[in-house]
Amino acid sequence: MRIISGGIQHETNTFAEGTTTLADFIRDSHCGDQLAGHETVIERYQGTGTIHGGYLAAAQEVGFTLVPVLNTRAYPSGMVEKATFDQLRELLVSRIQAHLPADGILLDLHGAMVTEQFEDAEAELVRAVRESVPDDLPIVVTLDLHANISPPLAERATVIIGYDTYPHVDMLERGIEAAQLIARIVRGEVTPRQAYRQLPLLTMPPMQCTLREPMQTFIEQLHALEAEPGMLTATIAMGFPFADIHDMGVTVLATSDGDQEQAEQAADRLAQGLWEIRRELQPQLTTIEEAMQIADRAEGLVIFADGSDNPGGGAPCDGTVALQALVDADFQGAVVGCLYDPGTVEQAFGAGEGSSFDATLGGKTDDRHGSPVHAQVDVVRLSDGDFRFLGAMAQGLQDTLGNTALLRIGGVDVLATSLRRQLIDRAMLHTVGVDLSATRLLVLKSAVHFRADIGPAAAVILDGDTPGIHRPDFSCFDYHNVRRPVFPLDEVTDVQS
């Protein structure tokens, strides 16, 4: 058995400044100056907690040949340029065609990529692949939990398998599941029948978290449904709300073995269950001033999730509202990170460890996340920023923050980086020796992913109330393209609306 795999991943924030280019994909894929093909993909992803890591593990376990032809990603950011997408799509298709014949296709996609031409870029990718291979070739697609799944995407894929967790700690398992399932399809052991539902429902990241209620219990119900006789898999996609497109929002998929009616009924049950908890999926936010008061009373670490400036959802990662408030209050024992500011990092490297200089920190990308902080900073530690993920999310994968500086302003330490990176793993803190046991208040540029590896160290976790293009508050966004009516933008009473 011979299975071809490919991947192009991007989560597009249509409210972000600028566009995403081919150079972004090349840089963020960490595969040198080329877009990774067969041997490079195997070398980078073998043994890692990723989707392609799962494909590779299952290929060894099941006993088929996996041929990875492309796997590239760009960090979440603005709309993907048309020319960039055209080149990536053509490269994916041409590499797949060059390795035919094959028994099936595995596609490692995200589900929330928007280009200058396509609102649902993944649907276009699957269309292009589908039309370039034999009609009966199965195409199994893996997607992020934040996918905005359109009807054409669901129609064109043989099966879609989405992450079950947020933080995304099950990427390895979902990659294995997808690869095992395509092997069963090729062998004629199962005949997938997939049902799709699009709900009139939008949700924001904090309460999509599957480590907290109501999602924790709902995922248990999802797994119980998948275990029913005749069911192959089921997926809930909570959507990415910072993409102003028609099909943004919550969808569900259910796939049975040969029984379309069973799949339809399962999809209805999932949709109804999500609809019933819709009001519990709206977050409660805390200001940084309130967070400082809570930290003064708390016994242990307090985490302030500055999700509005989360680079993992396309925000600039150089917002300063929380940092300025901490400095103004002369708060002692705080750490802020990661703050994207390559210019200040370069100054720190020029000054050297143990030195001080007058800095202008953050606030350089736009005027929506706070103004630059002007202060004298002490250079505590310098690093190349290289690390390997320790936590369950992407465990074992090599990454970098770029040149990194730990800077101190009074009682506040700032983890300043040369690359935009969401602070989600202890290894990122270790690059400059940050000690969480000595930290009272950790302000991090993340909405939820930090909960997997850093969250267990906290006594209290707060969803931050700060401005930004990833703010979990629908009232802050002017949507023009989202289908209506949809909850909570409209008062919708029926999941069938």
Q: Domain limits of the chain?
A: 2-281, 288-471
Dmax (CA) of the chain: 69
- Please say whether the beta carbons of 467 and 370 come within 8 A: yes
What are the CB-based long-range contacts (under 8 Å, 24+) for 372-377? Answer: 372/320, 373/320, 373/323, 373/324, 373/327, 373/409, 375/327, 375/409, 376/409, 377/344, 377/348, 377/407, 377/408, 377/409, 377/414
pTM of the model: 0.96
Residue with tokens 């969808």: 251
What is the full DSSP assignment across 138-154? -EEEEE-TT----HHHH
Total count of residues recorded for the chain? 497
Residue with tokens 């793993």: 425
Q: In a 3-state reduction of DSSP, which class is residue 231? A: strand
Range 2-281: architecture per CATH: 3-Layer(aba) Sandwich (3.40)
- Please say whether the beta carbons of 247 and 118 come within 8 A: no
State the pLDDT at residue 34.
57
Quote the tokens at residue 474. Answer: 């629908």
- Cα–Cα distance between 260 and 244 in angstroms, integer? 32
Q: In a 3-state reduction of DSSP, which class is residue 496? A: coil
Q: The dihedral of CA 43, 45, 48, 54: what is its sign?
A: negative
- Exposure pattern of 324-358 as b/e (b: 16+ CB <10 Å)? bbbbeeebeebbbbbbbbbebbebbeebeeeeeee
Residue 408, class by beta-carbon neighbours within 10 Å (0-12 exposed, 13-18 middle, 19+ buried)?
middle
Quote the tokens at residue 280. Answer: 């519990």
The one-letter amino acid code at 164 reads: D
Which residue from 471, 478, 446, 449 is spatially nearest to 370, judged by alpha carbons?
471
- Cα–Cα distance between 230 and 223 in angstroms, integer? 14
Quote the tokens at residue 488. Answer: 């909570």
State the pLDDT at residue 30.
74
Which residue from 155, 150, 105 is spatially nearest to 132, judged by alpha carbons?
105
What torsion, rounded to 10 degrees, do the Cα atoms 163, 238, 271, 262 define?
A: -20
State the pLDDT at residue 209.
98
| pLDDT under 70: residue ranges of the chain | 31-34, 36, 497
- Cα–Cα distance between 486 and 201 in angstroms, integer? 5
What is the full DSSP assignment across 344-396? HHHHHHHH-TT-EEEEEES--S-SSS-PPEEEEEEEEEEE--EEE--SSTTTT
First to last CA, the chain: 44
- Cα–Cα distance between 268 and 319 in angstroms, integer? 41
- Please say whether the beta carbons of 488 and 203 come within 8 A: no
